[in-house]
Chain A
Amino acid sequence: MTNRGNRPHDATRMKLGPLVVPDWLLVVIVCLIPVGYMVTRSFGRANPITLDIELTGTLDPYRTLLSGIYRPVLVRSLGLAAITVTMCLVIGTPAALALSRLSGRSRTLALVAVMLPSFVSFTVRIFAWQGVLATGGPVESLTGAQLLYRPPAVLLGMITAYVPLFILPAYVALSRVPRSMIEASADLGARHWRQLGTIVLPLALPGVVTGAVVVGVLSLGEFIVPTVLGGGKVLLLGNILAERGAGRDQPLGGAITVFMLLTFTAGGVVVAIFRRRAARHA
Chain B
Amino acid sequence: MQPISRRSLFAMAAVATPLAFLAACGDDKKDGASGSTPGDTTPGDTTPGDTTPGDTTGSSTPDPGALTGTVNFLNFTGWAGPTTYADFAAAFPGASVNEIAFASNDDTISKAKDRAGDIDVVLVDGTTFPRLTALGVLAELGDVPNMSLVADQYKGNSWDPTNASFAPTDHGRTGIIYRKDLVTTPPTSWAEFFEMAPEHSGKVAMLDYQGSVMDNVLVMLGKPVGSTDETDLAAVLDVLTTVKPHLLAISTEVGKAVAAGDAVMAMCDAYDAQLALTTNPDVVFVDPSEGQVGYLEGLAILDGPRNALASAFVNFFLEQANYAAFINNVASPYVQPDNPDIDAALKASPVINPPAEVVAKLQYHVFLGEDQPKFDAVWDAFKAA
Contacts and interface: CB of A to CB of B under 8 A. Distances in A.
A232 B249 contact: yes
Contacts of B368: 48
Interface stretch (A69-77, A203-211, A261-269): A69-77
A50 B373 contact: no
B380 to A, nearest CB: 5
Contacts of A151: none
Interface in B226-265: 244, 247-251, 260-262
B106 A69 contact: no
B261 A233 contact: no
A50 B369 contact: no
Interface string B321-343: 00000000000000000000000
A243 to B, nearest CB: 8
A23 B222 CA distance: 61
A123 B10 contact: yes
Interface stretch (B44-52, B83-91, B107-115, B273-281): B107-115
Contact of A48 (B110, B251, B372): B372
Interface size range of chain B in the complex: 35 or more
Interface string A221-250: 000100100011101000110001011110
Nearest to A135: B262
A31 interface: no
Specify which of B247, B261, B384, B385 lies most central, judged by the most chain A CB atoms within 10 Å of its CB. B384
B380 A240 contact: yes
A69 B109 contact: no
Given A69-B377, A73-B384, A135-B261, A224 B10 contact: yes
Nearest to A223: B9
A51 B383 CA distance: 23
Given A49-B134, A49-B369, A135-B261, A235 B383 contact: yes
B376 A249 contact: yes
Contacts of A233: 244, 247, 249-250, 383
Interface in A4-23: none
Interface residues of A, number: 28
B24 interface: no
B110 A232 contact: no
Contacts of B208: 232
A146 B263 CA distance: 13
B248 A231 contact: yes
B260 A70 contact: no
A134 interface: yes
A149 B249 contact: yes
A254 to B, nearest CB: 15
Contact of B249 (A70, A231, A247): A231
Nearest to B134: A49
Contacts of A50: 109, 113, 131, 134-135
A123 B381 CA distance: 27
Contacts, number: 74
Contacts of B17: none
Nearest to A227: B9
Specify which of A49, A51, A73, A224 lies most central, judged by the most chain B CB atoms within 10 Å of its CB. A49
A248 B379 CA distance: 14
Specify which of A72, A240, A246, A248 lies most central, judged by the most chain B CB atoms within 10 Å of its CB. A248
Contacts of B107: 247
Contacts of B59: none
B10 A48 contact: no
Contact of B106 (A51, A73, A123, A148): A51
Contacts of B248: 149, 231
A191 B194 CA distance: 64
A247 B376 CA distance: 12
A206 to B, nearest CB: 35
Specify which of A69, A70, A123, A227 lies most central, judged by the most chain B CB atoms within 10 Å of its CB. A69
Contacts of B384: 69-70, 72-73, 235
Nearest to B373: A48
Given A69-B380, A73-B384, A51 B109 contact: yes
Contacts of A48: 368-370, 372-373
Nearest to A52: B113
Contacts of A146: 202
22 contacts: A48-B373, A49-B131, A50-B134, A50-B135, A51-B109, A51-B110, A69-B381, A69-B384, A70-B380, A70-B384, A72-B384, A135-B261, A231-B247, A231-B250, A231-B251, A235-B383, A239-B383, A240-B380, A244-B376, A247-B104, A247-B107, A249-B373
Interface of A: 48-51, 68-70, 72-73, 123, 134-135, 146, 148-149, 224, 227, 231-233, 235, 239-240, 244, 246-249
Given A48-B373, A135-B261, A239-B383, 20 more contacts: A48-B368, A48-B370, A49-B134, A49-B372, A50-B135, A68-B381, A69-B377, A69-B380, A69-B381, A70-B384, A134-B260, A135-B262, A149-B249, A231-B251, A232-B249, A232-B383, A233-B244, A247-B107, A248-B109, A249-B376
